[in-house]
Structure 1
Amino acid sequence: MGDRDEPGTIGRRVQRLRVARGLTQKQLAEPVYTPAYVSTLEAGRVRPSDEALRHLADRLGVEFDELATGRPARLVTELRLRLTEAQRTLAAGAAETAVEQYTGLLAEAETHGLAEEQAAALLGLGECCLETGELEEGRGYFERAEARLADAPLTARVPALRGRAVAHYLAGELRYAVYLLESTLDELNRSGLHDPDALLLLYSGAIGPYMDMGAHARAAQAAEFALALAPQAGDPALVARMHRSVARTLLAEGRLAEADASLAKAAELYRGLRLRTELAHCHWMRGYVYAQNGELERAEHEMREALHMLSANRAALYSSQLTVELADVLHRRDRSGEAAELLRGVLGGLSPERGAVHAAAAHRLLGIIAEDAGRTEEAEEHYVRALSLLERAGAAGDLADLCRLLGDLLRRGGRVEAALDAYRTGLGHRTAPGTTTLGPAPAQPQL
């Protein structure tokens, strides 16, 4: 037991419990140990073995862990039960309520020095921040969760690593997000740590930054890997609810090990519910591929399916980003009015710090729709806003295209010098299609 207390602390605890139960040292020691051993132990002059602690715990009527650490045996199980309840709350989309639950759990876990439960609460708080768009605060929670798990296997740290990467991505820091995801994928795959949930989180998390950086081939491959790794489940929410109820019953009966096992199953299923967001990204990617191939009806179907999955999770920021891409498909299907209405509805939820690339895409498309309708001043205003957002995010491929649109608009309006400036800016950002400054692709999983 690596986390047991010092001998002096254990000795004082044994003495306190013995006196409270009205036992002499001789009565506590019999029939295995001597009164002298108990006296030495209570004085803190000997480190008791596991066997000795189990004997004493049995005689004192407490659990081994409580005697060794001072933590009531029920405490950890009850904390885990409440962690699964917080997971359920977040999976249902009630992020603000989940924040309150996780905050209380974190304080209790810190009080009792429970590193694993601290990490779980911090991870939950980080996920809440991703839902609500508080990216810097969320990144801090993920970093703290990762620090709590510094001695754990890499697979245990993947959710925190992925959370950090997503926070960087949504803040417009594309290359660093990709670096975090790819380096973790490479380490997992090269070391043979084949954990489907961990790999699914990483591959689906990489799709967005790949797309925004123009690495379309890598994005498509990541989506295929993620779909191949996706767990097959019916209705995990119902099963998880059942396991939570069973755990409560077992806990009330004092069957702690069985309660823990039931809670572990519930937690796994709630993680599956959170993976619904990741799977939505795969449908989103498929829709993008169909759109690029001109299969607009299939693209709309895939994007609406993804949007439905994200809306069910109340993933507001992701939903806003996806809506922008759906609007582009609708515009190409000659439904520009519907597209413009969607875009105006989501722009308030996007900003330079929250979805900069998609905010730029929304302004770009609104500019095109305005230009088609002959509203040139409105179109220019949207293009300029988009240009500012893309420069901040470093999305080179999109910048080159936008500068061309702005240059063409200015040239048709007779503003040749301004048009030339826009074209020159675009040429400075031009890259070959699909290329980035990324290094070699990470090692592939063994599917």
Structure 2
Amino acid sequence: MATSDGGREDGGAAPGIAAVAAAPAPVGERVRALRVAARMTQTQLAAGRFSKEYISQVERGKTRPTAETLEWLAGRLGTDMEFLEQGVSRAELGQAESALARAEALSESHRYERAIEEFRDAAALVESAGLPALSLRALRGEAWAHLQKGDLGAAESLLARARDLVQGAGFTGVDRADLLFLLGVLSYKRSDVVRAVELFARALALAERSGRACDGLRSDIHHWRSRCRRRQRDWEAAREDTERALELAEDLGDPRRSADAYFQASLVAERQGNWLLARQHAEQAMALFDELGDRANVGRLLNNLGGIAHLLGNSTRAVELLNRSFEIAVETGLAPDAGHALCSLAEVHLACGEAAAAERDARKALRLLAGRVDYLHEIGIAELTLGHALLKQDRPDEAEAFFSAAQTSFARIGSVSHQAAAAAALGDLAGYRGDTRAAARRYRQAAEALRDSPF
């Protein structure tokens, strides 16, 4: 069953943001420029509160004023403390942060196209603010939105710019750990699972060494590393990462991260054959996402619950849940999720002997998933299911093309078990054609692949 990979797929930010924000001018330079513009002498600015020499030291960068002093100087110079401190006014700063918050909210709601448009509108504000922290926030957000849309090249370009930015002064180990985390997600979506695991390990170590509060980031890293461990069929490591992600999320009181962790826990339990526990965790995750109003993830969980219902022998219930999953995907405008639900429906139809229905849904799934390199697992499942449906309808030549396509898709994601399933399918095809020798060779290839797999 092509179960959903689980959990949030969201974020936000915009093309055109400066690769590295220009460092704001020193506080002293801004004090001097405003004093000169106001036609005040240093003595007049000091106004008896400070000495002329103190104002001179501030302007030359020899002394760093306290927050209280900055507030007082801002009042004398007709500006606000934020401008003296950061080079942008309170109003400009608020405007830039509001624009980013709007885009991030859209991304959180899985409205990635709209989010990116909003980030483009915010780009000029972020650039004019000249704040490296806002630039990083914008770059990170847009990269995440592109990752979820499957625009991996665009995401990589943005993350390269973010990598240059976080090497500068003013950024912390947590900022750098977060960037490593995003690069890990990029590697995962490119099916380079070994590289993703390496990046997640480095991100986790850096976050823990930072000495800063970053439990949310650590929970996210464990969550995504659990996905990798599932791809590697290392169920125990996947379970441990999921448990740690849930523990961190619950300590934070973060229902969204808790939902993500329960989603992963359900997937791990399902892969281990513990279907009742898988259903329990999926229902816990769905209840949390429902409370959050996250319809997209409710739909993904209905997909998984449909698969579990089928495994438990209730195909009628499975079809009902999968149809609801498909409806929500259409309602939320997420074509890959709709394709995923149809892929699962095709598998159920095939198992129930409904070859024509399986063919119909598998073909629709492939159209919806076309071009999504981050959905190669689902594409391969749809190709494999379609091949079996065609073979059952006595169309062996068409079936062969899709079995071969499935084998290629699974090879690209390095899934030995699925490649073995495709080899076995080609064995079935050879048997159908009466070529027992070729069938035996294909079955032997499948068995050897599974035997030699490290996972």
- Give the TM-score normalised by structure 1: 0.71
Q: CA 1:226 to 1:141, structure 2 compared with 1: closer, same or farther past 3 Å?
A: same
* CA shift digits 1:50-96 (9 cap, x unpaired): 25433321212211221233221222221110111112333455433
Q: How do 1:388-403 residues align onto structure 2 when only pairs under 5 Å count? A: 388-403=408-423
Matched position secondary structure for 1:429: helix
Q: After superposing the two structures, state which structure 1 stretch, 324-333 or 53-62, moved more.
A: 324-333
User: Of residues 136, 139, 149 in structure 2, which corresponds to 1:132?
Assistant: 149
Q: CA 1:408 to 1:339, structure 2 compared with 1: closer, same or farther past 3 Å?
A: closer
Residue 240 of structure 1 aligns with which residue? none
Contact 2:391 2:399 in 1 (8 A): yes
Matched position secondary structure for 1:355: helix
Q: How do 1:112-261 residues align onto structure 2 when only pairs under 5 Å count? A: 112-145=129-162, 148-149=165-166, 151-154=171-174, 160-181=179-200, 184=203, 197-198=216-217, 201-206=220-225, 208-216=227-235, 229=249, 231-232=254-255
Quote the Cα distance in structure 1 between the aligned partners of 2:190 and 2:230: 15
Contact 1:352 1:389 in 2 (8 A): no
Q: CA 1:52 to 1:354, structure 2 compared with 1: closer, same or farther past 3 Å?
A: closer
Q: After superposing the two structures, state which structure 1 stretch, 196-205 or 370-379, moved more.
A: 196-205
Q: Which amino acid aligns with 2:426?
A: L
Contact 2:173 2:210 in 1 (8 A): no
1:112 positional shift = 3.7
Q: Which amino acid aligns with 1:347?
A: L
Quote the Cα distance in structure 2 between the aligned partners of 1:294 and 1:103: 49
Residues 1:6 and 2:26 are matched in the alignment? yes
Residue 106 of structure 2 aligns with which residue? 89
Q: CA 1:97 to 1:423, structure 2 compared with 1: closer, same or farther past 3 Å?
A: same
Contact 1:199 1:226 in 2 (8 A): yes
Matched position secondary structure for 1:406: helix
1:396 positional shift = 0.3
Q: After superposing the two structures, state which structure 1 stretch, 130-139 or 85-94, moved more.
A: 85-94
Contact 1:317 1:354 in 2 (8 A): no
Contact 1:214 1:397 in 2 (8 A): no
Residues 1:329 and 2:372 are matched in the alignment? no
Q: Which amino acid aligns with 2:422?
A: L
Q: How do 1:402-413 residues align onto structure 2 when only pairs under 5 Å count? A: 402-413=422-433
Residues 1:367 and 2:387 are matched in the alignment? yes
Quote the Cα distance in structure 1 between the aligned partners of 2:197 and 2:320: 28
User: Of residues 342, 358, 380 in structure 2, which corresponds to 1:339?
Assistant: 358
Quote the Cα distance in structure 2 between the aligned partners of 1:215 and 1:301: 32
Matched position secondary structure for 2:450: coil
Q: CA 1:344 to 1:224, structure 2 compared with 1: closer, same or farther past 3 Å?
A: farther
Contact 1:204 1:278 in 2 (8 A): no
Q: Which amino acid aligns with 2:89?
A: P
Residue 54 of structure 1 aligns with which residue? 71
- Name the Cα RMSD after superposition: 4.0
User: Of residues 392, 399, 402 in structure 2, which corresponds to 1:379?
Assistant: 399
Q: CA 1:356 to 1:41, structure 2 compared with 1: closer, same or farther past 3 Å?
A: closer
Contact 2:150 2:372 in 1 (8 A): no
Matched position secondary structure for 1:47: coil
Matched position secondary structure for 1:55: helix
Structure 2 residue runs of 5 or longer lacking an equivalent are 1-22, 257-288
Contact 1:287 1:299 in 2 (8 A): yes
Contact 1:92 1:313 in 2 (8 A): no
Quote the Cα distance in structure 2 between the aligned partners of 1:356 and 1:415: 30
1:367 positional shift = 0.8
Matched position secondary structure for 1:84: helix
1:393 positional shift = 2.0
Q: CA 1:164 to 1:330, structure 2 compared with 1: closer, same or farther past 3 Å?
A: farther
Quote the Cα distance in structure 1 between the aligned partners of 2:177 and 2:292: 17
* CA shift digits 1:128-171 (9 cap, x unpaired): 213332112213324544554463353x5676555433333333
Residue 320 of structure 1 aligns with which residue? 339
Residues 1:423 and 2:440 are matched in the alignment? no
Residues 1:78 and 2:112 are matched in the alignment? no
Structure 1 residue runs of 5 or longer lacking an equivalent are 234-269, 438-447
1:386 positional shift = 0.9
* CA shift digits 1:229-271 (9 cap, x unpaired): 47448xxxxxxxxxxxxxxxxxxxxxxxxxxxxxxxxxxxx9x
Residues 1:355 and 2:375 are matched in the alignment? yes
Count of aligned pairs: 391
Q: Which amino acid aligns with 1:320?
A: G
Quote the Cα distance in structure 2 between the aligned partners of 1:157 and 1:312: 37
User: Of residues 96, 116, 123 in structure 2, which corresponds to 1:99?
Assistant: 116
1:278 positional shift = 6.2
1:371 positional shift = 1.4
1:114 positional shift = 1.5
